[in-house]
A = this chain, B = another copy of it.
Amino acid sequence: MTGRRILIIKLTGKAFNNAEIIKSHIDTYKGIIGQGYKIAIIAGGGEIARRYIDIARRAGLQSNYWLDMLGIMASRLNAYLLQSLLRPMSYPRVPAGLEEVVEGLDRYPVIVIGGLIPGQSTASVAVEVAEALGSQIVVDYSVIGMVYDRDPAKYPDAKPIKEISAKELIELLEQSSEPGHYEFFDKKALTLAVRSRIKIYVTSYKEPGSIWTILSNGNPGTIIYPE
């Protein structure tokens, strides 16, 4: 199977607040698989990750490593939920590392992943997985649905960007590394995207069908070019 037939999907943790949205994503993924694609899905941690990190902090946990790991475990619960909904097409575990991802997708049409290592956004996991699997398409189903020139939650005049190169985006982004607050691709992820020619499509998690637009060469949000 050539890498072109493997798609990487990043699904924001926010989606897991809503059974209907999950259901429509599952239906979409089944349709994609039915067309002969293999997919690797990376589930974000979302509210549950933030909640567990918050409880842990208030109960006295200070280590950033363990706080991050807790967020990762929460994202893996989200991943497990998706995996169980995609059985028997899905690898029946949530992999703990890239090597397991590679082996899992050799055998199944779909694999679902949560966070992999501390200090790394699940969005960045998506790019690493793409490189490991030789895929050149990452679909980022995010809350906002597009890349903006600044945080639109804070700046009402933030401007949406239809297309941007990874290198330009690196300059644009200033990101914190507080556990539970990773929103965007980090520099390393974007650097990997450039070196391995991975195109990232940002779209809204409320529009699972965007992936069909992407497969028809459309742009349902923002395209980050690997340049």
Contacts and interface: CB of A to CB of B under 8 A. Distances in A.
Interface residues of A, number: 63
A11 to B, nearest CB: 13
B134 A65 contact: yes
Interface in A124-159: 128, 131-132, 134
The quantity of this chain's copies bound in the complex is: 6
Residue from A20, A58, A66, A118 whose CB has the most chain B CB atoms within 10 Å? A66
Given A19-B54, A73-B76, A117-B117, 7 more contacts: A48-B48, A63-B134, A64-B196, A70-B80, A98-B118, A119-B128, A188-B188
Report the 4 A-B pairs with minimum CB-CB distance, sorted nearest first. Answer: A19-B58, A66-B84, A23-B59, A22-B59
Given A64-B131, A92-B99, A106-B92, A23 B84 contact: no
Interface in A82-107: 84-85, 87-88, 91-93, 96-99, 102-103, 106-107
A111 interface: no
A108 B55 CA distance: 24
Interface of A: 1, 16, 19-20, 22-23, 26, 48, 52, 54-56, 58-61, 63-67, 69-70, 73-74, 76-77, 80-81, 84-85, 87-88, 91-93, 96-99, 102-103, 106-108, 116-120, 128, 131-132, 134, 177-178, 186-188, 191-192, 195-196
Is chain A's binding surface mostly helix, strand, loop or mixed? helix
B81 A26 contact: no
